[in-house]
Amino acid sequence: MRKRKTSNTDIKKTLSRSTELFKTYKPITPGIRHLRRPLNLHIYEGRPVRALTIAKRKNGGRNSYGRITVRHRGGGHRQRIRTLDFVREEQGVYDVIRIEYDPGRSAHIALVRSRDPKHEGTQRWKYILATDGMRAGDEVQSFRQGIPEGFIPDFDAALKEEEKASEVAGEKSEGQGQKASSAHSLALGILRTMTLKPGNVLQLKLMPPGTVIHNIALKPSGPGILVRAAGSFGQIVSHEDAGRYTHVRLQSGEVRKILSDCCATVGKVSNPLWKGRSLGKAGRARWLGRRPSVRGVAMNA
């Protein structure tokens, strides 16, 4: 049986997907010949919400004495700092209004609005880290305070049955214990189906092993600190039998023990193609506030 020869057109079709992920330009000027940007057609092109931003005062890498303490900084376009909510204590459903660009980070941010009419100001409107695949119209929730009562009626009933079974374990028969455990496992499965959605905040102990997470907190009441860069994610490896710690594999491959009461956001950080971009020219780096770097051996002694 003769093998069909692979033509150049077949190879181009196979590799064509990589060119569609980035936007390239016809090189009518030298500055855009090597320019390559990720295709993000869902990004909002307008200005941010001014009440959720702070003016950024640049110092050019100098300290209060005027001496350079951080090299290769200075200039750049004027920017405003977006104030993000890394804690997300407020419960309830938040609607994603739009996905925006943030000059202060590699990931995208999402503007969300609370459905609770009692919330006002920054409780009603806030910026959060956008999850990969998040779009306008999605819904996100925070379960940092735990699962609210009545969220899953079967879950509350199953917990009560389990408490009763543990109190009078010796008096109950084996069949009744199996019935209570099966009801609890069913309710737990329903709970994970309703809560394990990208963008939701959950305690680590409520997530099964293998869950992809980001924006991981190191204190039960603290903000998310770990895994916040574009395209990064962590993964839950296992829960300790004692229930105090959860093993989480970070982006570097390190497996860290984190308190099970700490919270994290489900999903992967947005803008995973950020590392494949190309600025195209030195001037675009200057717009970002980066000054040239010169090797020490090339300087005069």
Other CB atoms within 10 Å distance of the CB of residue 187: 20
Contact in structure between 147 and 155 (CB atoms under 8 Å)? yes
The number of helices, as runs of H, and strands, as runs of E, in the chain is 4, 16
Confidence check: pLDDT of 151 > 80: no
Collapse the DSSP code of 63 into the 3-class scheme (helix H, G, I; strand E, B; otherwise coil) and give the result.
Answer: coil
Confidence check: pLDDT of 7 > 50: yes
53 beta partners: 82
Contact in structure between 155 and 116 (CB atoms under 8 Å)? no
The whole-number average pLDDT for the span 163-182 is: 58
Residues 6+ apart with CB under 8 A from 87: 144, 222, 223, 224
Q: Which of 101-105, 274-278, 297-301 has the lowest average pLDDT?
A: 297-301
Q: Which of 8-12, 233-237, 250-254 has the lowest average pLDDT?
A: 8-12
Q: Which of 87-101, 148-162, 220-234 has the lowest average pLDDT?
A: 148-162
The predicted-structure confidence for 192-234, as pLDDT tens digits, reads as follows 788 899 999 999 999 999 999 999 999 999 999 999 999 999 9
Q: Which of 186-195, 236-245, 255-264 has the lowest average pLDDT?
A: 186-195
Task: State if pTM tops 0.85.
Answer: no
pLDDT score for 15: 47
Collapse the DSSP code of 127 into the 3-class scheme (helix H, G, I; strand E, B; otherwise coil) and give the result.
Answer: strand
Burial class from Cβ neighbours inside 10 Å (0-12, 13-18, 19+) for residue 64 reads exposed
Looking at every residue in the chain, the average pLDDT score rounds to 87
Of 113, 143, 133, 146, the C-alpha closest to 198 is 133
Contact in structure between 268 and 229 (CB atoms under 8 Å)? no
CA distances, 292 to each of 67, 75, 180, 284 (Å): 18, 11, 67, 12
Give the residue, 184 or 102, on which the prediction is more confident: 102
What is the layout of strands, in order, in the sheet containing 245-249? 201-203, 263-266, 212-214, 234-239, 245-249, 255-259
